[in-house]
Amino acid sequence: MIVVKDLSTKNIDDVFRICSRNRLDDPLQKEGVCIKREWLLEMLEKYGSITKIGYYNGEPSAQILFYPEKAIPYIPNPRKRVLRIECIYNSNPKAQGKGIGSELIKSLKADAVWGMDCFDGGSPDFIVVNVFNTGEGISMEDFYLSKGFKRGKDELYYEVKGVYHPVSAKKYENPDEDKNKALIFYDRNCEYSYKFAMIKKETLMELKSELEIEVIDVWEKPSEFASKGGNYLIVNSVPIKSHIGNKEEFKNEVKEALEK
**pLDDT tens for each residue of 15-27:** 999 999 988 899 9
Residue 203 sits in the same domain as residue 148: no
Residue 68 sits in the same domain as residue 152: yes
Query: CATH number for the domain including 129?
Result: 3.40.630.30
**pLDDT tens for each residue of 88-108:** 999 999 999 999 999 999 999
pLDDT score of 78: 93
pLDDT at 146 over 70: yes
Query: What is the total count of domains within the chain?
Result: 2
Last residue of a domain, one of 159, 192, 220: 159
Q: Give percent of the chain above pLDDT 70.
A: 97
Confidence band for 111, pLDDT divided at 50, 70 and 90? very high
pLDDT at 235 over 90: yes
Residue 29 sits in the same domain as residue 138: yes
Most confident of 133-147, 163-177, 210-224: 210-224
Rounded mean pLDDT of 26-51? 96
Which among 207, 214, 205, 209 has a CA at the least distance from the CA of 181? 214
Residue 152 sits in the same domain as residue 233: no
Positive or negative, the CA dihedral 226, 182, 130, 103 is negative
pLDDT at 76 over 90: no
DSSP string, the chain: -EEEEE--TTTHHHHHHHHTTTTTT-HHHHHHHHHHHHHHHHHHHHHS--EEEEEETTEEEEEEEEEEGGG-TT-SS--TTEEEEEEEEE--GGGTTTTHHHHHHHHHHHHHHH--GGGTT---SEEEE-----SSSS-HHHHHHHTT-EE-SSSEEEESSS---PPPPP-B--GGGGTTEEEEEE-TT-HHHHHHHHHHHHHHHHH-TT-EEEEEETTTSHHHHHHBTT-SEEETTEE--S-TTSHHHHHHHHHHHHT-
Q: Which residue has the higher pLDDT, 185 or 77?
A: 185
pLDDT score of 229: 93
pLDDT score of 211: 96
> Would residue 183 count as lying in a domain?
yes
**pLDDT tens for each residue of 165-215:** 998 878 899 899 999 999 999 999 999 999 999 999 999 999 999 999 999
pLDDT score of 108: 98
> Would residue 213 count as lying in a domain?
yes
pLDDT score of 134: 53
pLDDT, mean over the chain = 94
Residue 58 sits in the same domain as residue 131: yes
